[in-house]
Structure 1
Amino acid sequence: MNRYKISKLVVAISAVAIFSLSLLFLTVYQGLEIPILANGVKQTVSFFDGVLSKPTQFLSQQKDYLNDLIFAYKENQELKKTLADFENSISEMESLKNENKGLRQNLEMKEQHADKRIFSALVSVRSPHSWNQKLMINLGQDDGLTTEMLVVADGALIGTIDSLAPHATTVKLLTNSDKFSKIPVKIALESTDVYGILSGYDTDSHSFIVNQLNSDIGIPEGSSVVTSDLAGGTPSNIPIGKVVSVKTSSSNLNRELYITPTANFSNIYAVTVVGQ
């Protein structure tokens, strides 16, 4: 397009603009009514108003959506915090419930063994890597504990004292298959009592092993096994478990009894330490 044509186009556009502004002036300021022009102006204004209102409506909708999103996020965070607090409360309540249960059983143990030296203690440390081997309680040598004492939880034997500090004690659990303390036991039968030695723990069947029986009498499954004071240094009649199977041999005196534990070794919160 040459310079002459551009000049003509500019002149034409200018003339149209001047003419349009003149008509607009006459219409607005002089009160002159020109229907065609008025309608055209109205349509033009309506068109531009519609075009301009679209982004405004879109932004308004996005603002509302963003506000709803922010509100939902804040509400979600508050609900998560409330849920976490609720779960922590439940966990603490369960721990206290189990601890109270253990303490009640400790009181029952004191009543049943009023002639024994009995101490109530709480578990202070139980490490995951030695979960089945040992735990620590919050009483020690200065509190009156000695190495020959037995440790009871849930009303049943769980271990023996392994080492003592002034105000802390390491308890060797009966589920410690590598370092087992042999304990004299008694199997109560209808006609008589059979004595033996609690000598090990079988990790495959999760059962205690009793051997060195003093009688060849038949021992049925389900028979109760408790501690025995036959050796003179062990408190008697503390529950250990029940017979689940009998491993026979050429001699009934060499049999092995497999005992399912009475105590729950997964949840130990409070313990009773019992000694002669």
Structure 2
Amino acid sequence: MTKFFNRNRMLIVLFGIVVLIALIGFSLTDRDSTTKAEQFTGDSVAVTQKAVNAPFGFIGNIFSDIIGSFSALEENEKLKEQLDMLPQLQADNERLAEENESLRESLDVSSNMDYETINASVISRSPDQWLDSFTIDKGEKDGIEEGMAVSTSEGLIGIVTRVNGNSSFIEMISTNASQNNMSVEVRHDGEAVYGNIRNFDTENNALVVENIKSQVKLETGDEVYTSGLTGAFPEGIVIGTVVEVENDEYGLSQNAHVQMNSDLNDVDTVFVLKRDPESLED
């Protein structure tokens, strides 16, 4: 019985192979139309491919959307960073514009001065000595020496007290260190009277000039300059204007309160006066 079934199974397989070969040979022949069997087979294969490709295409679209979302997020982060940087960029542009304007003013001022000047920038200023001193970026290699006067575009600001190779330490005239033996000239109605700086009044932010002869009555608005009579300061550097006049305690001379033209709180670019006019003529 088993041999009978095995023999029939073999016959069925051989028959199937013969039919398949016949169909292949028949499909390879030149014909204008397809048979029902070929149509059924082609349609079945097409449906099967569509059914198989549909989930893969769906999954592929999901991955494409996910990748596109990550790309969009990354691009949004970059745009956000650029937007966050805009205020800083605007601030930098404004600062550079102010620095350029300051440098242009500095060049104009230095070219109009009667002294040989060395332009310098403030690089260091201690908060606890804000009204006392600062450091500039020029030193001995640039020709700076101790005792040279330092001015802003508005007027005198201090004196060089220490010099290094590439930097210098400046004492402001608001400190006692730079006021010693500093003589000034007050001009009133074309007449010059002299005095010397006693101290800096921190409450009123003004220099106090004493020993001014009382024969000439000073007035508010009179201009004050360096006299060049004592100390290392050359003559004719503007310091400020008189804002108050009073007699001394004995009534023998006058004291003048002088508001400096230079802003002690805002010092950025300065000029070191290298030589006085007399040395330039030599």
Which residue of structure 2 aligns with residue 204 of structure 1? 203
Q: In the alignment, residue 256 of structure 2 is paired with which amino acid?
A: L
CA contact (8 A) 1:121 1:271 kept: yes
The structure-2 alpha-carbon separation of the partners of 1:125 and 1:251, relative to structure 1 and needing over 3 Å to count, comes to: same
CA contact (8 A) 1:196 1:213 kept: yes
> Which runs of no fewer than 5 residues in structure 1 stay unpaired?
1-70
The structure-2 alpha-carbon separation of the partners of 1:254 and 1:82, relative to structure 1 and needing over 3 Å to count, comes to: farther
**Among 173, 177, 184, which residue is 1:179 paired with?**
177
The structure-2 alpha-carbon separation of the partners of 1:260 and 1:124, relative to structure 1 and needing over 3 Å to count, comes to: same
For 1:23-66, what per-residue CA distance to the aligned partner results, in whole angstroms no more than 9, with x for missing partners?
xxxxxxxxxxxxxxxxxxxxxxxxxxxxxxxxxxxxxxxxxxxx
Any idea what SS the aligned residue of 1:266 has?
coil
Shift of 1:257: 0.9
CA distance in 2, matches of 1:94, 1:154: 21
CA distance in 2, matches of 1:97, 1:207: 31
CA contact (8 A) 2:213 2:254 kept: no
CA distance in 1, matches of 2:177, 2:232: 20
Q: In the alignment, residue 99 of structure 2 is paired with which amino acid?
A: E
Which residue of structure 2 aligns with residue 92 of structure 1? 92
Shift of 1:215: 5.0
CA distance in 2, matches of 1:142, 1:187: 36
Matched, 1:243 2:248: no
Any idea what SS the aligned residue of 2:157 has?
strand
CA distance in 2, matches of 1:166, 1:234: 23
Which residue of structure 1 aligns with residue 83 of structure 2? 82
Runs of at least 4 residues off by over 6 Å:
77-81
The structure-2 alpha-carbon separation of the partners of 1:231 and 1:87, relative to structure 1 and needing over 3 Å to count, comes to: same
Q: In the alignment, residue 237 of structure 2 is paired with which amino acid?
A: I
Identity %: 23
CA contact (8 A) 2:221 2:242 kept: yes
CA distance in 1, matches of 2:135, 2:264: 14
Shift of 1:80: 8.5
CA distance in 2, matches of 1:105, 1:215: 39
The structure-2 alpha-carbon separation of the partners of 1:131 and 1:106, relative to structure 1 and needing over 3 Å to count, comes to: same
Q: In the alignment, residue 200 of structure 2 is paired with which amino acid?
A: Y
Any idea what SS the aligned residue of 1:198 has?
strand
CA contact (8 A) 1:214 1:253 kept: yes
Normalization by structure 1: what TM-score? 0.63
Q: In the alignment, residue 258 of structure 2 is paired with which amino acid?
A: I
The structure-2 alpha-carbon separation of the partners of 1:240 and 1:99, relative to structure 1 and needing over 3 Å to count, comes to: farther
Shift of 1:143: 1.3
Q: Which moved more, 1:165-174 or 1:180-189?
A: 180-189
Which residue of structure 1 aligns with residue 192 of structure 2? 193
> Which runs of no fewer than 5 residues in structure 2 stay unpaired?
1-72, 277-282
Matched, 1:111 2:111: yes
Task: Let me know the Cα RMSD of the aligned residues.
Answer: 2.7
CA distance in 1, matches of 2:191, 2:121: 37
Equivalent runs, 1:1-276 vs 2, <5 Å? 82=83, 85-114=85-114, 116-176=115-175, 179-182=177-180, 183-214=182-213, 216-231=215-230, 233-274=232-273, 275-276=275-276
Structure with larger Rg: 2
For 1:212-260, what per-residue CA distance to the aligned partner results, in whole angstroms no more than 9, with x for missing partners?
2245310001111111223384222222111111132255553221111
Q: In the alignment, residue 194 of structure 2 is paired with which amino acid?
A: Y
CA contact (8 A) 1:180 1:199 kept: no
Shift of 1:88: 2.9
CA contact (8 A) 1:216 1:253 kept: no
CA contact (8 A) 1:151 1:272 kept: yes
For 1:142-172, what per-residue CA distance to the aligned partner results, in whole angstroms no more than 9, with x for missing partners?
2111112111113211111121111110111
Which residue of structure 1 aligns with residue 49 of structure 2? none
Q: In the alignment, residue 100 of structure 1 is paired with which amino acid?
A: N
CA distance in 2, matches of 1:173, 1:136: 11
